[in-house]
Amino acid sequence: MKLPKNLHHFFLINTGKPKETTGEMVEYVRAKSKEQRATYKNLFDKNEEQTRSVAKALKEGDEKELLDAIQVGQRSLEGMGVVSSKVMPLIRQIEKAGGAAKILGGGGRSGAVGFLLCYHHKPKEIEALCIPYGYTLQPIVLGEEGVRLEK
């Protein structure tokens, strides 16, 4: 899917390698969801709903819906316990600055979470927010053809 030009403001923020493996994070969520079935069912449903909302917003070029969906989806991941307190302050700063960010992959509970997907119009502003944390920022283009091997 080719993105509308108004939505070409994505970045990856490298927070470092998580201490926990993806398998450990999956097992953590599995155990917690058995203990708190109703809570986790709501979190899973909310996360799935926001994933659909992100796709819809990207297709329709709706920036407000995109920001809202990323932010609400991130909150559901926090509720699942897969986002360490080390990265939450940066996510809140990005939101306060008019953007949104969410973890990618399995996350992390005690330190780094790997990569954050960030959406914001001003890369220099986000880069400045990352400096105190020692995180790096990489612009990315979504919806473009990727690398492929041809035979």
Buried b (16+ CB within 10 A) or exposed e, 32-44: bbeeeeeebeebe
pLDDT digits (tens, 9 = 90+) for 12-28: 999 999 999 999 999 99
Closest by Cα among 73, 83, 71, 79 to 36: 79
CATH homologous superfamily of 5-140 = GHMP kinase, C-terminal domain (3.30.70.890)
pLDDT digits (tens, 9 = 90+) for 75-103: 999 999 999 999 999 999 999 999 999 99
- pTM of the complete model: 0.88
Domains in the chain: boundaries: 5-140
**Alpha helices, DSSP H, located in the chain:** 22-35, 37-60, 63-80, 88-96, 123-130
Residue 71 has pLDDT above 60, yes or no: yes
Residue 121 has pLDDT above 60, yes or no: yes
